[in-house]
Amino acid sequence: MAVERFMVRVSKDYLVFCSGHFISYESDKCECLHGHNYRASVSIEGPLDSNHYVFDFIALKRIARDLTDELDHKMILPDRNALIRVEGDERTVIVNFKDSEWRFPRKDCLMLPIENTTAELLARYLAQRILKELETRHQYFPEVLAVEVEESFGQAATYTWRR
Q: What is the pTM of this model?
A: 0.95
- pLDDT attached to residue 153: 92
Integer angstrom CA distances of residue 40 from 58, 95, 138, 143, 155: 16, 27, 21, 20, 12
Q: Reply yes or no on whether the pLDDT at 1 is more than 80.
A: no
Q: How far apart are CA 113 and CA 105, in angstroms?
A: 19
Q: Reply yes or no on whether the pLDDT at 154 is more than 80.
A: yes
Q: Reply yes or no on whether the pLDDT at 2 is more than 80.
A: no
Nearest by Cα to 20 from 5, 32, 6: 32
Nearest by Cα to 60 from 73, 71, 80, 44: 44
SS3 state at 64: helix
- pLDDT attached to residue 56: 96
- pLDDT attached to residue 73: 98
Which whole number is the average pLDDT over 10-28?
A: 95
Kindly report, residue by residue over 46-93, the tens digit of the pLDDT: 999 999 999 999 999 999 999 999 999 999 999 999 999 999 899 999
**CATH (residue range 6-162):** 3.30.479.10
Q: Reply yes or no on whether the pLDDT at 156 is more than 90.
A: yes
Q: Reply yes or no on whether the pLDDT at 3 is more than 90.
A: no
Kindly report, residue by residue over 36-49, the tens digit of the pLDDT: 999 999 999 999 99
- pLDDT attached to residue 157: 99
Give the residue extent of every domain in the chain. Answer: 6-162
Q: How far apart are CA 37 and CA 155, in angstroms?
A: 12
Helices (H), the chain: 57-71, 119-138
Integer angstrom CA distances of residue 26 from 31, 64, 75, 150: 11, 32, 22, 23
Kindly report, residue by residue over 98-134, the tens digit of the pLDDT: 999 999 999 999 999 999 999 999 999 999 999 999 9
Q: Where does residue 101 rank: exposed (0-12), middle (13-18), buried (19+ CB within 10 A)?
A: exposed
DSSP string, 22-43: --EETTTEEPPPEEEEEEEEEE
- pLDDT attached to residue 146: 99
Q: How far apart are CA 137 and CA 141, in angstroms?
A: 11
